[in-house]
Amino acid sequence: MNFYESNEKTMNSRFNTIIRDLETKSIGLFQKDFLLTWEKTTEELESVLLVAEALKEMRDKNLSTRCFDSGLAISQFRDNSTRTRFSFASAANLLGLEVQDLDEGKSQIAHGETVRETSAMISFLSEIIGIRDDMFLGAGNKYMREVGDALDEAFLDGVLPQRPGIINLQCDIDHPTQSMADLLHLKSVFGGLGNLKGKKIAMTWAYSPSYGKPLSVPQGIIGLMTRFGMEVDLAYPQGYGLIPDVVELAVKQAHKNGGNLRIVGSMDEAFTDADIVYPKSWAPYHVMQQRTDLLLNNDHNGLKDLERECLSNNARFSNWECTEEKMKLTRGGKALYMHCLPADISGVSCKEGEVAASVFNRYRVPLYKQAGFKPYIIAAMMMTNRFEKPDAVLRNIEHGGKIRKFE
């Protein structure tokens, strides 16, 4: 043992409990892209949470979690991002990977290069590719699969020495790094996944003075929380439906797992006796489809008309705001308020918005903690993709006892 190693050769019992739990799971995440939570088994989702918790335990004990001495993690943001960008960078750094951003503004992709070629070209020494592509309905998730097919081909052809894993950093359908961070937050707040059974969560639309917000968060929430026996109320004004296939799938999942998914027409109904509320604005499914068509056709006048129409339609539902009154409807008036952030806060970031300032302020600390799980969730997705036995790797690096910050 020298200066670079920890004095505590044995970690606390919590780490050991997590790893023992992890060892019981049958995990098929190795070398599989993480694109939609509903493509993964419940055991696999639980494993991602456990790996995230193990990494957090180690870092909190100042132990290095590096399992790579070199290697790249590519990020491709086809939409703005602050928190996911930093979460991805933090996750890569935790494991010893270096982030290289594929910025289409700088690259030659804009010059007509095919997805197939670029995917191979950026991957020679890359372990992970994180992609955000949430602007076009029917396009984002499809793009990720195109990249995946290209990587499969390049790996099988011997072009790539390894097949980098893809992590969906938000698409048109799902936002798995968000929903899984949300789930880890719930596990932490309610003291275990088992305690979520029977709990009521209200995933409801909320008013926002902007338009065109992606559907991936509400879809991600109903697609994930229905896996854990929760009572999910999905509420939105008429005309603000989600992608029908996703809703159908969520209903089936809910029934299979001893829970339920109800679609209700008012925030009040959804909030009544809810344990958790998740009020968040989104654009109607059919509007997002129109918008995609207009964008692809570069129809700027059409887009302006659509925006005007949508905003005036939104305005009819400005009472869909998460107020103190609405919060009183929840179980004991004390439901956990959740949001993926940033929220449209009435009187703060806009005149009228998704949530009253007093509600938001009261829940700021849990909201920020919710966001704080994302770097670990992304790191866990990276780790389960790259290592067949993440439990063994974690045990080994913990046993190695290398410290992160030398003090």
Residues numbered 86 to 145 that lie near a second copy (CB under 8 A) are 86-87, 89-90, 93-94, 96, 98-100, 102, 106-109, 111-114, 117-118, 120-122, 124-127
64 makes contact with a second copy (CB under 8 A): yes
- Crossing angle of the two packed helices 13-23 and 42-60, in degrees rounded to 10: 160
Gap between the Cα atoms of 294 and 255, Å rounded: 38
Beta strands in 297-359 (DSSP E): 336-337
State which of positions 291-350 bind a second copy (CB under 8 A).
341-342, 348-350
3 makes contact with a second copy (CB under 8 A): yes
State which of positions 385-404 bind a second copy (CB under 8 A).
386-389, 393, 396-397, 399-400, 402-404
Q: Please identify, using beta-carbon distances, which residue of 106 and 301 lies nearer to a second copy.
A: 106
Smallest CA-to-CA distance from 216 within 82, 34, 36, 86 is with 36
Q: Please identify, using beta-carbon distances, which residue of 80 and 298 lies nearer to a second copy.
A: 80
- Region of 159-167, 169-177, 241-249, 263-271 interacting with a second copy (CB under 8 A): 159-167
Q: How far is CA 161 from the centre of its chain?
A: 29
Provide CB contacts within 8 A for 274, sequence distance 6+: 200, 201, 202, 233, 329, 330, 331, 335
Size of the site for a second copy (CB under 8 A): 83
362 makes contact with a second copy (CB under 8 A): no
Q: Tally Cβ neighbours within 10 Å of residue 244.
A: 9
Gap between the Cα atoms of 199 and 182, Å rounded: 15
Edge-first strand order for the sheet with 165-171 is 98-101, 72-77, 126-133, 165-171
- Region of 7-15, 76-84, 225-233, 265-273 interacting with a second copy (CB under 8 A): 76-84
> Which residues sit opposite 105 in a β-bridge?
none
Alpha-carbon torsion 381, 382, 387, 393, what sign?
negative
- The CB-of-374 to a second copy minimum distance in angstroms stands at 8
DSSP notation for 99-165? EEE--TTTSGGGGT--HHHHHHHT-TTEEEEEEEE-SSTTTHHHHHHHHHHHHHHHHHTTSSSS--E
- The CB-of-142 to a second copy minimum distance in angstroms stands at 19
Q: Please identify, using beta-carbon distances, which residue of 197 and 362 lies nearer to a second copy.
A: 362
7 makes contact with a second copy (CB under 8 A): no
- Region of 157-165, 191-199, 280-288, 323-331 interacting with a second copy (CB under 8 A): 157-165
- The CB-of-97 to a second copy minimum distance in angstroms stands at 9
- The CB-of-406 to a second copy minimum distance in angstroms stands at 4
Q: Please identify, using beta-carbon distances, which residue of 72 and 329 lies nearer to a second copy.
A: 72
State which of positions 22-61 bind a second copy (CB under 8 A).
59-60
What is the three-class DSSP state of 261? strand
Pairing of strands 72-77, 98-101: parallel
State which of positions 245-264 bind a second copy (CB under 8 A).
none
- The CB-of-10 to a second copy minimum distance in angstroms stands at 16
- The CB-of-117 to a second copy minimum distance in angstroms stands at 6
189 makes contact with a second copy (CB under 8 A): no
Provide CB contacts within 8 A for 353, sequence distance 6+: 206, 207, 208, 209, 321, 343, 344, 345, 346
- The CB-of-304 to a second copy minimum distance in angstroms stands at 19
